[in-house]
Amino acid sequence: MKKIFYVAVVALVAGAMAVSCCNGNKTISNGCCSKLDTLSYAMGANLGEFVTTRIAEIPFNFEKMEKGIKQGAFNKGKWSAEESQAVFQSLIGPVNERFGQLMRQKQDTTDTALPVEIFVSQGECDSLSYAYGLNIGHDLRSGRVPLKMKWYLKGFAQTRNGESVMTSEEVNEFLQHFFMVTYPEQELEKSEAWLAKMEKKSGVQKSESGLLYKVVNEGDVSLSATDDRDEVTVHYTGRDREGNVFDSSIFENMPEQRQQMMRQYQPDNFDENGNIIKNDPVTFPLNRVIKGWTEGMKLVGPGGKIILYIPAELAYGPRGNQAIAPNAALEFEVELIEVKPFVEPKVAE
């Protein structure tokens, strides 16, 4: 029982950090209360059920938590995603320990001691509640799901108060259908429309697999990769169809949150003025990456540069990942530095 609060909360915070490489969700709006937005309400209700069933013993300041959620979603919080995570981590340890003590007391009917106070002060409660909400807000902002914040917070509040207009079963059924069916279908339609637009750009070619590409500089094609087991060393920048960078090997191209994380956890990579000392390229075998990369890296040689417009079926498909939406088409700008041909290992004598 001791770890319930810690594990559940950290899971949400980890989710926020995992997808925060995007520049932000441009589809989140404040919304109005004239018409129910079922998706936003259901997502808020899902969080409301979580805090009232899984961690009901934690006396959060929900006003502070809601403030954090809203400010994080619109990137107006007093702490960045990294700062709010640091505040959360500094508070969660002792709070989690007190929570465990309280659970043990409730299980031990012979314990006559006074109930353990989970928060030692109102300030501690307020800070943890706000940091927790801020991380949830950053998580929402980093996604691509269209949300109306008023309905999200209304679903959150009404569920906590036992006044939800949706049952728990209805919430779960709606969200499961949306994220497993509706959302992937919407993303596929948008991705196909974007690819059709990219195909018309000057210099863009299309392979038999459906990969779109534009060779900016072909490099030394006599040294191009030919085997899926070849290793390539590259610099790259990956963007979604809206131009948001979700990954890059080049510090200057990285999203601000990723830059802040590097400054915090890799300080030796920066000079005394805070400038990056060196952008290290990335090396990997072609059979360890998405199909669009495996194919695209064979189209140029060392010293070459190529832009790849990759359909979902050659990227992360209908499942996506924590940083990539399901059925998302992607754009990669890649500079090929070196190709190391695969060499069959010698047979042991």
Beta strands 305-310 and 330-340, pairing class: antiparallel
In a domain, 269, yes or no: yes
Whether residue 219 sits in one domain with residue 77: no
Distance, CA of 194 to CA of 187 (rounded, Å):
10
- In this structure, the answer to whether residues 129 and 16 fall within a common structural domain is yes
Give residue 341's identity as a one-letter amino acid code: P
27, 146 in Cβ contact below 8 A?
A: yes
pLDDT of residue 5: 43
Give 40 or 11, the one with higher predicted confidence. 40
Domain assignment present for 40:
yes
Three-state DSSP state, 311: coil
**Burial of 28 from C-beta contacts in 10 A (0-12 / 13-18 / 19+):** buried
Question: Over 80: is that where the pLDDT of 43 sits?
Answer: yes
More confident residue, 1 or 42: 42
Q: Is residue 182 part of a domain?
A: no
Instruction: Look at residue 297 and tell me whether its pLDDT is greater than 60.
Output: yes
Q: What is the pLDDT of residue 15?
A: 34
CA atoms of 27 and 183, how far apart (whole Å): 14
Whether the predicted pLDDT of 25 surpasses 80: no
Question: Averaged over 14-30, what is the pLDDT?
Answer: 49
pLDDT at 278: 85
User: What's the total number of domains in the chain?
Assistant: 2
**157 and 212 belong to one structural domain:** no
Same domain, 162 and 193: no
- Residue 242's contacts (CB-CB under 8 Å, 6 or more residues apart) are 26
CATH code of residue 218: 3.10.50.40
The predicted model gives 21-32 an average pLDDT of: 63
Beta carbons within 8 Å of 245's beta carbon, 6+ residues apart = 21, 23, 237, 238, 239, 253, 254, 255
Share of the chain above pLDDT 90, in %: 59
Is the per-residue pLDDT at 326 higher than 50?
A: yes
Question: Average of pLDDT values for 280-295?
Answer: 95
Q: Are residues 216 and 299 in the same domain?
A: yes
pLDDT at 112: 57
**192 domain residue, yes or no:** yes
Q: Which of 138, 142, 147 is nearest to 40 (CA)?
A: 147
Residue 65 lies in a domain: yes
- Note the pLDDT of residue 97: 87
- pLDDT the model gives residue 111: 58
Is residue 348 situated within a structural domain? Answer: no
Is the same domain home to 145 and 236? no
Question: Is 179 within a domain?
Answer: no
Structural domain of residue 286, as residue ranges?
188-340
203 and 145 in one domain? Answer: no
**Nearest to 65, CA basis, from 75, 51, 53:** 51
- Residues 26-47, mean pLDDT to the nearest whole number: 87
The predicted-structure confidence for 124-170, as pLDDT tens digits, reads as follows 999 999 999 999 998 898 777 889 999 999 999 999 999 999 999 99
C-alpha pair distances (Å), 224 with each of 237, 334, 337: 20, 14, 11
Which pTM was predicted?
A: 0.76
Residue 110: the pLDDT is 64
Tell whether 97 and 141 lie within a shared domain.
yes
Last residue of a domain, one of 108, 136, 166: 166
Cα–Cα distance, 162 to 58 (Å, whole number):
17
Same domain, 193 and 330: yes
Q: Which of 131, 166, 201 is the last residue of a domain?
A: 166
> Does a structural domain hold residue 346?
no
Confidence of residue 182 (pLDDT cuts 50, 70, 90): very high
Asked if residue 194 and residue 159 are part of one domain, the reply reads no
Structure tokens at 134: 């801020």
Give the pLDDT score at 156.
97
| pLDDT confidence of residue 170 | 96
| Residues 45, 159 contacting (CB under 8 angstroms) | yes
CA 88 to CA 127: how far, in whole Å? Answer: 8
The answer to whether 251 touches 244, Cβ cutoff 8 Å, is no
Both 69 and 138 in a single domain?
yes
Q: Is 78 found in the same domain as 213?
A: no
pLDDT tens-digit readout, 240-269: 998 989 899 999 988 777 787 788 888 888
Is residue 47 within 8 Å of residue 136, measured between CB atoms?
Answer: yes
98-116 residue pLDDT tens: 888 877 877 776 655 556 6
